[in-house]
Structure 1
Amino acid sequence: AGTASEQLAQLHNRSEILTGIDLSGVDDEVTGILLDLTRNETQLQSYSLVSALMVQLKIFGITLNQSPRREESFSVLKSANVPSILFDLGSLSNNMNLINLRDPTWQSSFGEAIAAGILLWRD
């Protein structure tokens, strides 16, 4: 029933699917349904967080690339119960990105925009 890493992931999912509630004795079908429901809600929260952050980044004058909202399959973005996002601040080979990343004013604006976005999202 899968590779060792898949089995470990399944065990991890069962033991912590709902913020520490141990579902190891629960039927597979029920566990699967709960996991799907939890992941769907978490994904909606992640989308909401991204929207709030994008609003604040725009207000603070932080320029985003043409397609700032994308989905990736990194394992760190796949938590069942923790909203997750990933910022790609640009490439170090892009001169404008490098200038921004080195600029204390830009760094401060970016940090303030992120903080404001999180507060907006939490309200």
Structure 2
Amino acid sequence: MTSSSRATVVPSTISHSRRVVLAVAIDVALVVAFVLIGRSSHSEGITPAGVLGTAWPFLVGLAAGWALARAWRRPFAVAPGLTVWATTVIVGLLLRATAGDGVQSGFVAVTALVLAAFLLGWRGAVSLRSSRLRR
């Protein structure tokens, strides 16, 4: 099977740049969802300022992860997604601590696990689906 005949989850008619934009949008939406879930579960307000105040360290970490992994080269792949995830967690938690916000061990564990499920989960699903379509 040639690479041009391989089926993918994302139609081949979608340009690479649009795939990158889609992947970034998914990652940002999932980081914001993580923040919304966390703020809601702790009875914190869901205000734009509150969400932004909680999200910014992780969004900076996400951007750093994309740059470090050069994830735009393979935006749907799991391998660069590992770097994106790890950098999002580490940079996000470091910035959060620097800003004086809590980074208790329970929060660190939940952050790492939830963001792994979110940032790696969708990439894994795309990879699994793509490999099944290639068979």
TM category, shorter: 0.3 to 0.5
Larger Rg: 1
TM-score (norm 2): 0.42
Q: Between Structure 1 and Structure 2, which shows a larger proportion of helix residues?
A: 2
TM-score (norm 1): 0.45
